[in-house]
Structure 1
Amino acid sequence: MVTTYRLKASELDQSFLERLKATYGDQEIEISVSNLTTQLEAMANDPSIQSEIQQIEQEFKITEMDGLTDL
């Protein structure tokens, strides 16, 4: 089972830890911390992702108006 909690670091408090303990008891869990802004910036600058975006844009590029008039 995978559960993702997304919150601001300032929202971490003792009650959050108590809820985790109540939910998972004595089970072993893994906690991973990541900065979403940094991840998104890295993805935006990734050449392979940029290439994919260009391919998608080309695939959906309007090639004819299909009877539509200019708006």
Structure 2
Amino acid sequence: MNQELFRNQTATPVAAEIQNLLLDVRLARGLIMLLDSTNVMLHLRAGLLARARYWQRPTAAVPFDVPLATVEAQNASRD
């Protein structure tokens, strides 16, 4: 498969808007929502945490202990 498809991040802003819409709909209904996202940008994490606070829902983070060399190699392959 073409690796460029996996590195293309142009849909990210639209995908984030859709994610937030779905998040609000589920949280408004009192449903559980699990997001699988790195959210490496502080403002994106802050927005998600703010939504959880607004809907009075708990949050949790699952960190992954990945060797720095692995992360650097993955990032080097991205645009």
Q: TM-score, normalised by structure 2?
A: 0.29
Q: Which has the larger radius of gyration?
A: 1
Q: Which has the higher contact order (CA 8 A, sep 6+)?
A: 2
Q: TM-score, normalised by structure 1?
A: 0.31
